[in-house]
Structure 1
Amino acid sequence: MLRLLNLLPLLLALLAAPAEAGETRIAVAANFSHAAKAVSGAFERESGHRVHFSFGSTGQLYAQISQGAPYDAFLAADQARPMRAEHDGLAVPGSRFTYAIGRLVLFGGNKGPVHGETLQTTEPTRLAIANPATAPYGAAAMETLAALGVVARFEPRLVRGTNVAQAYQFIATGNADLGFVALAQVFDQPATDYWLVPANLHSPIAQDAVLLTHGEANAAARAFMAFLKGDNARAIIAGMGYEASTSAGGQP
């Protein structure tokens, strides 16, 4: 009897232990890197699972996925690529949802006030944007320039980064005077250092997530996608420069 009593705490601990922890590898658009790390930190503490991210432009990541890269899920900066992943049989049908809506800003790199008239009144030698062919924030930047009627003025001065993270680096290092980046990259800086581009100047930057077929049987991947839809993750996302959204089917 005494031996059984000694074993009781161990048996209770085993019964109370969480399910076996797993790991998942997720492809994430560069603009969402800071928020993704914050979300994964909360998820790992709650679940015991581990998340490994690969960051890059949405176009580059989709190309890797289509070529067989072993990602379990895809957090894009647009809706088109996750939708295409479903259409091409690379993603689990019905798993796609909008996890965030991004906002575009014109950032001056702490060199002085930036406002709505900056593009009409200043003569920067270089304007940084993400590559509009592969990065949704770059496409939104070009739409904004067109809406403001200044494409011809700035096109010869454009410095294109492979993604919005590189566009930010061009500004931070002085290789560009101004640039279009994500609000999530500058939201903790003085509001005078950037101009929040009105949403009506470009197409909505609705960012969709989708569970890839490689991760369909991965419990950690499924748990992370479920967590991403929950209130905890939504609060983190909303606090880091995004409008939070978790509507199914890619509809914000």
Structure 2
Amino acid sequence: MKALLLLLSLIVGVMPAMAGEVSVAVAANFTNAMHELAPLFEKATGHTLKVSFGSTGKLYAQIENSAPFEVFLAADTKRPEKAEAAGLAVPGSRFTYASGKLAMWSAKPGAWRDAEAWLKQAAFAHLAIANPKTAPYGLAAQQVMRHLGLWDVAQPKLVQGDSIAQTFQFVATGNAEAGFVAASQVKAWKGGGMVWEVPQAYYPPIEQQAVLLTKGADDAAARAFLDFLQSDAARAVIRSFGYGVSE
């Protein structure tokens, strides 16, 4: 009996050590996909996720200031590269987990007939974009407006969100007639409206990279999450939200 009790105590003592919690910093555009991926990862591995969403630039600033993140899912390649160069991430752990697409969206059906003509006519009181300095999708929106020759003239009517999530909310709540958002956000939206998928030629590719941060270098759960993110199951979910995924 004593032997059995000892065995049970050992099992109980080992089980919590086998499962871990991963602290992940995630770019705001990936919110909906992450909400679907998290339970799949937790069910498959027994590990749990602690997720913080925000603009890529602001999350990186937190990482620079010793935020306790173990994995970083950025909306660009620039910040993961910087993290590696600064010794904040594990060299060689970077990979592209999704390729983002930019869209102009309005919650109002019939907001325009021709999206480009609507933009050029400035037929709006407010147009929402994410902050180009901190949000890669905001930078892409700026590049589109420059491509169309509208960036300078549109300034008085632009409303900037701190992240692409806040930008989407500006449009969803009617505080802006339309806005440049992630196509994945529109795909997850159930309320209808108008969407213009911006031609890829109008802005550079939005390659979104993941990287293992040094705080998670020796964490099996953190490495397990990055492995999961590259699995067929995870890639299918990512693809279902409209992202490009390398084969």
TM-score normalised by length of structure 1: 0.87
Worse-matched range after superposition: 103-112 or 53-62: 103-112
Contact 2:106/2:193 (8 A) holds in 1? no
Q: Percent identity?
A: 51
One of 28, 32, 42 as aligned partner of 1:44: 42
- Which residue of structure 1 lines up, in the alignment, with residue 144 of structure 2? 144
Superposed displacement of residue 113, structure 1: 4.6
Q: Deviations over 1:60-89 (max 9, x none)?
A: 000000010010010000000000000000
- Which residue of structure 2 lines up, in the alignment, with residue 32 of structure 1? 30
The 5 A counterparts of 1:83-94 are 83-94=81-92
Q: Deviations over 1:188-239 (max 9, x none)?
A: 4588610000111001100000000000111111100000011111100000
- Which residue of structure 1 lines up, in the alignment, with residue 177 of structure 2? 177
Task: Give the Cα–Cα distance (whole angstroms) in 2 for the partners of residues 123 and 116 of structure 1.
Answer: 10
- Which residue of structure 2 lines up, in the alignment, with residue 65 of structure 1? 63
Contact 1:113/1:194 (8 A) holds in 2? no
Superposed displacement of residue 176, structure 1: 0.7
- In the alignment, residue 28 of structure 1 is paired with which amino acid? V
Q: Aligned residue pairs: how many?
A: 235
Contact 2:32/2:188 (8 A) holds in 1? no
Q: Which runs of 4+ in 1 moved over 4 A?
A: 188-192
Task: Give the Cα–Cα distance (whole angstroms) in 1 for the partners of residues 89 and 152 of structure 2.
Answer: 40
Match of 1:142, SS state, is: helix
Task: Give the Cα–Cα distance (whole angstroms) in 1 for the partners of residues 187 and 134 of structure 2.
Answer: 24
The 5 A counterparts of 1:186-197 are 186-189=186-189, 193-197=194-198
Task: Give the Cα–Cα distance (whole angstroms) in 2 for the partners of residues 65 and 119 of structure 1.
Answer: 37
What stretches of structure 2 of length at least 5 have no aligned partner?
none
The 5 A counterparts of 1:112-131 are 112-114=110-112, 115-117=114-116, 118-121=118-121, 123-131=123-131
The 5 A counterparts of 1:190-229 are 193-229=194-230
Superposed displacement of residue 18, structure 1: 10
Superposed displacement of residue 116, structure 1: 3.3
Worse-matched range after superposition: 35-44 or 51-60: 35-44
Corresponding position: 1:105 with 2:99 = no
- In the alignment, residue 224 of structure 1 is paired with which amino acid? F
Superposed displacement of residue 120, structure 1: 2.5
- In the alignment, residue 99 of structure 2 is paired with which amino acid? I
RMSD (Å), alpha carbons: 2.1
Task: Give the Cα–Cα distance (whole angstroms) in 2 for the partners of residues 79 and 116 of structure 1.
Answer: 29
What stretches of structure 1 of length at least 5 have no aligned partner?
247-252
Task: Give the Cα–Cα distance (whole angstroms) in 2 for the partners of residues 207 and 176 of structure 1.
Answer: 27
- In the alignment, residue 227 of structure 1 is paired with which amino acid? F
Superposed displacement of residue 163, structure 1: 0.5
TM-score normalised by length of structure 2: 0.89
Corresponding position: 1:161 with 2:161 = yes
Superposed displacement of residue 152, structure 1: 2.9
Match of 1:187, SS state, is: helix
- In the alignment, residue 90 of structure 2 is paired with which amino acid? V
Task: Give the Cα–Cα distance (whole angstroms) in 1 for the partners of residues 122 and 76 of structure 2.
Answer: 31
Match of 1:243, SS state, is: coil
